[in-house]
Amino acid sequence: IPDNPTLSAYEDVFSGSTGVRVIRSLAVSVGVTVCGTLINLFFTLTMAYGLSRTNLIGKKAILNMVLFTMVVNGGMIPTFLLVKNLGMYDTFSALILPGAISAYNMLIVRNFFIELPNELEEAASIDGCSDIGIFIKIALPLSLPVIATFGLFYAVGHWNNYFGALLYLEDQNKYPFQLVLRNIVMQTADTSANADQELPEDTLKMAVIVIGTVPILCVY
């Protein structure tokens, strides 16, 4: 237990130019996480529900294409060239759209939809409900546990992602928090030999790490 607890490390992190960078990057990370998670859930749920229907034409071929993406990956350089040629380089969409859907998560959600009772769908059809109505009014309300689970998975993935920003972002004002955290830790390590430094290197590191951990803990 510390003899004299102090919040000086957090004051240093949020003061000056570093504080501006941290606050801006936190806002970027929150925006990317919220928008990215909503997009992930939209594509995952809609595709999973469509592929869970027995009357879908070409379902086997689509499933095979999905499984193919789990085995074969284009690689970092082709993906970078694709993002750049699509005009997403140095934009927030480069952090969201390339991973808009996870094949593995989609297959698990599809299996969940398959286990839903067919009687509910038949009763809704008799009452005149459309396919979209069945999906919105019956399938989604019964799928809140799986939506919460994979929404959390997607949110944590977006929040912790820094490598995508390192590859696709050039403007430092667009950096998410994890990339700023990485830069601060590296910068702190480079200046650790400075005798005039008031706080130890590890103190600043841990303060920034706590700041990056608390928001996602609140989500949990």
Per-residue pLDDT, averaged over 43-68, amounts to: 92
In this structure, are residues 39 and 100 in contact, taking their beta carbons and an 8 Å threshold? yes
The mean-pLDDT minimum among 18-22, 27-31, 60-64 falls in 18-22
Separation CA 178–CA 176 (nearest Å): 6
Per-residue pLDDT, averaged over 97-125, amounts to: 91
Look over the chain and give the mean of its residue pLDDT values, rounded to a whole number: 88
Cβ contacts of 89 within 8 Å, gap of 6 or more: 83, 168, 170
Separation CA 27–CA 167 (nearest Å): 20
* Model confidence pLDDT, tens digit, residues 140-190: 999 999 999 999 999 999 999 989 999 999 998 999 999 988 888 777 655
**Percent with pLDDT over 70 in the chain:** 94
The pTM (predicted TM-score) of the whole model is 0.87
Per-residue pLDDT, averaged over 133-143, amounts to: 91
Question: Does the pLDDT at position 197 exceed 60?
Answer: no
Cβ contacts of 144 within 8 Å, gap of 6 or more: none
